[in-house]
Structure 1
Amino acid sequence: MTIDAIGHLERLGTELEQRRFAVRVRARGSHAMLNITNVAAPALAESVFTAPDEEGALWFWFPWQTRIGPVADIVAAADRIERVLAEVGRPGPAPAAP
């Protein structure tokens, strides 16, 4: 685990907190994860971690080994996580500007 990984997770957590999610960074041994819970629907929760892709670029990942987005694009990663953890009737993220 690097301090960079924790920093990326904390920045993602800050973005998700602004979207009404509860977050907590957990470091265990050499691994760090961001636990995310939808406050409006606590059963909707997930963990996210950082790891390099095949080419060495650092990405956010779901535990089922699915890439979320590059750590350099916090907003896009938060948009994807919000779609995965959205409760029924939650307005989705704003569409990207053309």
Structure 2
Amino acid sequence: MTITPEEAASWLEKLGAELESRGFSARLRAGVGRTPCLHVINLAAPVMSETVMVAVDGDDESCFYFPWPERIAPVSDLVTAADWVERVLAEVGR
């Protein structure tokens, strides 16, 4: 199974909207010949930022990933994915 760049961008936009509702900045980076990714910044601590991508895991499930690579959650579970990204980018006291 593969995921098209358009599908990946769509899922990343949805995750970005969820993260923005939580006070983060989320910008989709996509373009011709480029793998879509979401750049997320903690607005309360802008030095804390991370990139999120979409890929298919070993079970043929489309999932969000950090670049190191660390599976975050299936694309169908936006809340869990946003929770995980929020924990990674949390400032002290969040």
TM-score (norm 1): 0.88
Q: Within the alignment, does 1:45 sit opposite 2:76 as a pair?
A: no
Q: Within the alignment, does 1:11 sit opposite 2:29 as a pair?
A: no
Given candidates 68, 76, 89, the residue that maps to 1:64 is 68
Let me know the Cα RMSD of the aligned residues: 0.9
Moved over 6 A (4+): none
The whole-number CA distance in structure 2 between the counterparts of 1:43 and 1:70 is 27
Partner of 2:40: 36
Greater RCO (Cα-Cα under 8 Å, separation 6 or more): 2
The whole-number CA distance in structure 2 between the counterparts of 1:55 and 1:77 is 18
What whole-Å deviation, never above 9, does each CA across 1:15-72 have from its counterpart, x for those lacking one?
0000000010001424000000000000100000000001210000000010000000
The residue matched to 1:34 in structure 2 has which SS?
strand
Given candidates 26, 32, 37, the residue that maps to 2:29 is 26
Q: Which runs of 5+ in 1 are unaligned?
A: 91-98
TM-score (norm 2): 0.92
Counting matched residue pairs gives 90
The residue matched to 1:23 in structure 2 has which SS?
strand
Q: Which runs of 5+ in 2 are unaligned?
A: none
The residue matched to 1:49 in structure 2 has which SS?
strand
